[in-house]
Amino acid sequence: MSYDAHFRVWRGDADGGDLVDYTVAVNEGEVVLDVIHRLQATEAADLAVRWNCKAGKCGSCSAEINGRPRLMCMTRMSSLDRDATVTVTPMRAFPVLRDLVTDVSFNYQKAREIPAFVPPQGVKPGEYRMRQEDVNRSQEFRKCIECFLCQDTCHVVRDHEENKPAFAGPRFLMRVAELDMHPLDAAAETGVDRKRSAQEEHGLGYCNITKCCTEVCPEHIKITDNALIPLKERAVDRKYDPLVWLGSKIRRRGA
Amino acid sequence: MATGTDPRTTAPAPTEAPGGVHHASRAAIPARHLRIDRWWLAPAATAGGLLAFVVYSTWRAFANADYYAAPYVSPFYSPCVAKNCVPMKDGADWGVFGTWWSLSPALLVLIFPLGFRLTCYYYRKAYYRGFWASPPACAVAEPHRKYSGETRFPLILQNVHRYFFYFAVLVAGILTYDAVLGFRDADGAWGHMGLGTLVLLANVALIWAYTLSCHSCRHIVGGRLRNFSKHPVRYRMWGWVSVLNARHMLLAWASLVSVAVADFYVYLVASGAFDDPRFF
Map out the domains of chain B as residue ranges.
43-270
Least reliable range by pLDDT among A163-177, B74-88, B237-251? B74-88
Highest mean pLDDT among A118-122, A123-127, B214-218: B214-218
Q: What is the mean pLDDT of residues A136-165?
A: 97
Please identify among residues 200-239 of chain A the ones whose CB lies closer than 8 Å to any CB of chain B: 203, 205-212, 215-216, 225, 229-230, 232-237, 239
- Pairing between strand A62-65 and A86-89? antiparallel
Give the nearest chain B residue to A99 (CA atoms).
Answer: B27
On whether the CB atoms of residues B222 and B231 are closer than 8 A, the answer is: yes
Cα–Cα distance list, A108 to A57, A140, A147, A166 (Å): 18, 21, 12, 15
* d(C-alpha B186, C-alpha B87), whole Å: 12
Judge whether residue B113 has pLDDT over 70: yes
- pLDDT higher than threshold 50 for residue B9: no
ipTM: 0.91
B134/A153 touch (CB, cutoff 8 Å), yes or no: no
Average pLDDT for B143-158 = 93
Mean pLDDT on B140-151: 94
- Looking at beta carbons, which residues of chain A come within 8 Å of B35? 66-68
Spatial distance between the Cα atoms of B149 and A108, rounded to a whole number of angstroms: 23
Q: Which amino acid is at B61?
A: A
List Cβ neighbours of B202 (8 Å cut-off, separation of 6 or more): B258, B262
**Which domains are seen in chain A, by residue range?**
3-102 (3.10.20.30), 105-254 (1.10.1060.10)
| Residue pairs between chains A and B whose CB atoms are closer than 8 Å | 197
Using DSSP's 3-state secondary structure scheme, residue B68 falls into strand
Q: Is residue B264 very low, low, confident or very high in pLDDT (cuts 50, 70, 90)? A: very high
Evaluate whether B179 touches B203 at the Cβ level (below 8 Å).
yes
Q: Given this model, what pLDDT does residue B13 score?
A: 46
Between chains, do A161 and B25 touch, taking CB under 8 Å as contact?
Answer: yes
pLDDT reading at B112 higher than 60: yes
pTM of the model: 0.92
What pLDDT, on a 0 to 100 scale, did the predictor assign at position B99? 83
Cα-based torsion angle of the residue sequence A170, B128, A216, A167 in order, rounded to the nearest 10 degrees: -20
Please state the rounded mean pLDDT for residues A85-105: 98
Instruction: Give the mean model confidence (pLDDT) for residues A146-166.
Output: 97
pLDDT of residue A1: 79
The string of DSSP codes covering B107-172 is: HHHHHHHHHHHHS-HHHHHHHHHHTT-SSSBTTB--S-S---TTSSTTGGGGGGHHHHHHHHHHHH
CA distance A168 to A111: 8
pLDDT tens digits, one per residue of B186-234: 999 999 999 999 999 999 999 999 999 999 999 999 999 999 999 999 9
CA torsion angle B46 B50 B53 B54 (round to 10): -160
* Interchain pair A160, B18: CB under 8 A: yes
pLDDT value for A251: 66
Whole-angstrom Cα distance, residue A4 to residue A145?
32
Confirm if B11 and A105 have CB atoms less than 8 A apart.
yes
For position B258, what pLDDT does the model report?
Answer: 98
Probe site for chain A from B138, B153, B159, B227 (most A CB atoms < 10 A):
B138
Are B34 and A87 inside 8 Å of each other by CB?
yes
Sorting pLDDT into bands at 50, 70 and 90, what band is A241?
confident
Rounded distance, CA B6 to CA B9, Å? 8
pLDDT band at B109 (very low <50, low <70, confident <90, very high): very high
Confidence of residue B8 (pLDDT cuts 50, 70, 90): very low
Separation of alpha carbons A68 and B202, rounded Å: 40
Q: What is the CA radius of gyration of chain B?
A: 24
User: Count of CB atoms within 10 A of residue A58's CB?
Assistant: 16
Half-sphere exposure of A204 (CA within 13 A, CB side): 29
Least confident of A169-173, A178-182, B107-111: B107-111
Distance between CA atoms of B274 and B272, rounded to whole angstroms? Answer: 5
- Give the mean pLDDT of chain A: 95
Are A36 and A49 spatial neighbours (Cβ–Cβ below 8 Å)?
A: yes
**Are B19 and A216 a contacting pair at CB < 8 A?**
no
CA–CA dist A30, A201 (Å, integer):
44
| Segment A218-239, tens digit of pLDDT | 999 999 999 999 999 999 998 8
Provide long-range contacts, Cβ within 8 A and 24+ apart, for B1-10.
Answer: B1/A111, B1/A114, B1/A116, B1/A175, B2/A111, B2/A112, B2/A114, B2/A115, B2/A116, B3/A111, B6/A112, B7/A105, B7/A108, B8/A105, B9/A105, B9/A108, B9/A109, B10/A103, B10/A105
pLDDT at A247: 76
Exposure string of A137-153, with b = 16+ CB inside 10 Å and e = fewer, is bbebbeebbbbbbbbbb
pLDDT at B212: 98
Give me the percent of chain B exceeding a pLDDT of 70: 94
Q: Would you place residue B17 in the very low, low, confident or very high pLDDT band (cuts 50, 70, 90)?
A: low
Dist. CA B159–CA B63, nearest whole Å: 32
Identify from B5, B227, B233 which residue to disrupt to test chain A contact, counting A C-beta atoms within 10 A and taking the largest count: B227
Complete DSSP assignment for A95-151 = -EEETTEE--HHHHHHHHHSPPP-PPTT--TT-----HHHHHHHHHHTT-----HHH
> What value does the mean pLDDT of chain B take?
92
Q: How far is CA B110 from the centre of its chain?
A: 11
DSSP H or E segment with residue A221: none
Residue B99, exposed/middle/buried by CB under 10 A (0-12, 13-18, 19+)?
exposed
Q: Which residues of B touch A105 (CB under 8 A)?
A: 7-11
Q: Residue B98 has what pLDDT?
A: 79
Residue A125: what pLDDT? 85
Q: Across residues B253-271, what is the average pLDDT?
A: 98
CA distance B3 to A146: 13
Residue A145 has pLDDT above 90, yes or no: yes
In B, which residues are within 8 Å of A115 by CB distance? Answer: 2
Give the residue, A70 or B5, on which the prediction is more confident.
A70
Question: What does the pLDDT read at residue B24?
Answer: 95
B5 falls in which pLDDT band (50, 70, 90)? Answer: very low
Distance separating alpha carbons of residues A153 and A94, to the nearest angstrom? 10
What letter represents residue B121's amino acid?
Y
Residue numbers in A near B28 (CB within 8 A): 12, 16-18
Pairwise CA distance, residues B51 & A192, whole Å = 45
What distance in Å separates the CA atoms of residue A102 and residue A50, rounded to the nearest whole number?
Answer: 9
Task: Name the residue type at position A130.
Answer: M
pLDDT category, B14, cuts 50, 70, 90? very low
Residue among A69, A94, A161 minimizing CB distance to B20: A161
Least confident of A63-67, B15-19, B134-138: B15-19
